[in-house]
């Protein structure tokens, strides 16, 4: 290869251009701003698909928040009910049965 000839200059320009294209492709793939020929940055425009995905993401976060609130309420119900469970078991032990395990006083209301 002739180091002083035009083919060397063309090879350097080709390598630089290919590097710039690959750099911008990687930046675009990962969501970074693109670099133009003069070193400036070109911000990405939000496409319809991006806007739709952002809206769907917001809706899913709202659903997740609602589900967490419901789970907190269910945990309260379960834990509050758990404290009185031992008392109810003890009350059943004191209740006379007909021999088959069913209490005789079925009309008695249970604690809530």
Question: What would the pLDDT profile of 11-59 be if each residue is shown by its tens digit?
Answer: 999 999 999 889 888 888 887 777 776 767 766 666 788 888 899 999 9
Rg of the chain in Å (alpha carbons)? 36
pLDDT at 79 over 60: yes
Give the model confidence (pLDDT) of 89-98 as tens digits: 777 776 665 5
The CA-CA-CA angle for residues 51, 53, 58, to 5°, reads: 95
Domain ranges of the chain: 1-45, 46-112
């Amino acid at each position: 290869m002739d180091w002083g000839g035009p083919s060397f200059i063309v090879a350097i320009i080709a390598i630089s251009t290919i590097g710039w294209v690959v750099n911008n492709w990687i930046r675009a793939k990962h969501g970074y701003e693109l670099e133009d020929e003069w070193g400036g940055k070109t911000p990405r425009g939000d496409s319809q698909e991006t806007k739709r995905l952002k809206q769907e993401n917001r809706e899913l976060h709202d659903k997740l928040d609602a589900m967490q609130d419901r789970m907190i309420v269910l945990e309260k119900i379960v834990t509050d009910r758990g404290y009185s469970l031992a008392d109810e078991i003890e009350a059943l032990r004191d209740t006379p049965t007909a021999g088959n395990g069913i209490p005789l006083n079925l009309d008695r209301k249970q604690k809530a």
